[in-house]
Amino acid sequence: MPIKDVLLPLLGEPDDRAIAAIEKCVAVAGDLAARIEALAVEEDVSVRPKVALLASDDGDAAGLVHATTDARGLLRAFDDAAVRFGVRNVQDLRRLAAAEIAPALARQARLKDLSLVPVKPNSDQSEGIVEGLLFKSGRPLLLCPEELATELPVALDDILIAWDHSAPAARAVADALPLLRTAASVRIITATDSRSDDELRSGKALVDHLVEHGIKASFETVRIDGSSVGKVFEAYVRSNRIDLLVMGAYRHSRLNEIIWGGATKTVIGRPPCWVMMSR
C-alpha cells in the first residue's frame, strides 16, 4: 500500500533546527505525493520570571507562572514549507498538558499511513513521543533527526534494513515496502559475532522474500566486537552514506533497554539518518 496520508507532530519552539526538520519532512511528504497533517501542540509549561527569582529565597513554587510553547510559530513554518513544496496539507492546533501529548498523538496517528517525527538529540520529550507512537498508534514512524535536518536527503535512495528475524523487524520491513520498491540500493545487515547458520539462512530468506516484491537486496553480517548494536548501525550508516535505516523497535522489553541499553534506545536518542521504525 502506498504512503499517502502522514502525520507530522509539532512540539517545542521554532528554532533553526526545528524549522529545518519541518521543511525536510514536508519535502519528503511531497516526494511521496502524500497529504500531510501537522498537529501542533501548545504545551502548558511552568516558568519562574526573573523578578520572582530575585524576590524568592525559599525556592518554592510561589513565583511560577504558566506559559505555552510557540506552537503557532511552528505552524507558520509548516505553512510556509507546504506552500513552497506544493504539498496537500491539513493543520491543527491543540493546547495540552505534558501528560496528554503522547496519547493524543497516538490516537491521531492510527488513521495515518506513517508519522513523520522530528527528533531532538537525547531529548526525554522526543523519546516519550516516539515511544507513545510506537506502542499506541499501531502505525510506523519515520524519524527525522533535527540536528541533521539540513543535510538529510529528500529522496531515500540508499536504504539499510537492520534484520534479526524478530517480529518487530518483520513488521518494519513490511511497512517499508513502498519505500524499498523505489530505492536504488537496499542492503540488509545482521549485527552478530557468531554468523550462525540460522542467521545466514534468515538473511538469505529475506533477500528471497524481497525479490518476490520486485526488490533486489544484498545481505551481510557485521561484527559487534564489544560495541553496542545501536552503535554498529550508526557506524554502518555513516561509512556507507545510508539515507534510511529500517528497523524494528524494542525486540527486548522496554524496561530491559532502559536498564541495560539497547539498539532502539540508542537510535531514538540520536538517529544517525532518517529511521523508519515499527513494532
Q: What's the CATH number where 107 sits?
A: 3.40.50.620
Q: Are residues 142 and 44 in the same domain?
A: yes
Stretch 131-148: mean pLDDT, rounded? 97
Q: Which of 121, 149, 177 is the last residue of a domain?
A: 149
Band of pLDDT at residue 19, cut at 50, 70 and 90: very high
DSSP alpha helix (H) spans, 32-159: 50-55, 71-85, 98-109, 124-136
Stretch 195-218: mean pLDDT, rounded? 97
Residue 7: pLDDT over 60: yes
Q: Are residues 145 and 184 in the same domain?
A: no
Measuring CA to CA, how many Å separate 52 from each of 45, 49, 59, 63, 68? 16, 5, 10, 5, 18
- C-alpha 273/C-alpha 86 separation (Å) is 25
**Whole-number pLDDT of residue 51:** 53
Using CA atoms in the order 107, 109, 110, 112, what is the torsion angle rounded to 10 degrees? 150
DSSP secondary structure letters along 207-245:
HHHHHTTT--EEEEEE--TTS-HHHHHHHHHHHHT-SEE
Residue 206: pLDDT over 60: yes
Using CA atoms in the order 227, 230, 231, 237, what is the torsion angle rounded to 10 degrees? 140
Q: Are residues 114 and 95 in the same domain?
A: yes
Band of pLDDT at residue 257, cut at 50, 70 and 90: very low
Q: Are residues 171 and 116 in the same domain?
A: no
Burial class of residue 225 (count of CB atoms within 10 Å of its CB; 0-12, 13-18, 19+): exposed
Residue 4: pLDDT over 60: yes
Q: Are residues 21 and 139 in the same domain?
A: yes
Band of pLDDT at residue 73, cut at 50, 70 and 90: very high
Q: Are residues 167 and 138 in the same domain?
A: no
Q: Are residues 114 and 211 in the same domain?
A: no
Q: Which of 98, 121, 149 is the last residue of a domain?
A: 149
Decide which of 68 and 266 is more confident.
266
Percent of the chain scoring above 70 in pLDDT: 88
Q: Are residues 24 and 135 in the same domain?
A: yes
Q: Please give the model's pTM, rounded to 2 decimal places.
A: 0.90
Residue 46: pLDDT over 80: no
Band of pLDDT at residue 68, cut at 50, 70 and 90: confident
Parent domain of 182: 155-278
Band of pLDDT at residue 60, cut at 50, 70 and 90: low
Decide which of 159 and 43 is more confident.
159
Residue 194: partners with Cβ closer than 8 Å, 6 or more residues away: none
- C-alpha 7/C-alpha 11 separation (Å) is 13
Q: Which of 104, 132, 149 is the last residue of a domain?
A: 149
Q: Are residues 88 and 27 in the same domain?
A: yes
**Whole-number pLDDT of residue 203:** 98
Stretch 6-17: mean pLDDT, rounded? 97
Band of pLDDT at residue 1, cut at 50, 70 and 90: confident
Stretch 136-158: mean pLDDT, rounded? 98
Give per-residue pLDDT as tens, 160-185: 999 999 999 999 999 999 999 999 99
Q: Is residue 71 within 8 Å of residue 40, measured between CB atoms? A: yes
Residue 205: pLDDT over 90: yes
Q: Are residues 35 and 140 in the same domain?
A: yes
Q: Are residues 131 and 164 in the same domain?
A: no
Q: With H, G, I as helix, E, B as strand and everything else as coil, classify residue 256.
A: helix
Residue 54: pLDDT over 90: no
CB atoms within 10 A of CB 62: 10
**Whole-number pLDDT of residue 50:** 57
Q: What's the mean pLDDT when you consider all of the chain?
A: 91
**What are residue 141's DSSP bridge partners?**
115, 277
Residue 255: pLDDT over 90: no
- C-alpha 244/C-alpha 275 separation (Å) is 6
**Whole-number pLDDT of residue 55:** 53
Total structural domains within the chain:
2
Q: Are residues 14 and 135 in the same domain?
A: yes
Q: With H, G, I as helix, E, B as strand and everything else as coil, classify residue 189.
A: strand
Q: How many residues does the chain have?
A: 279
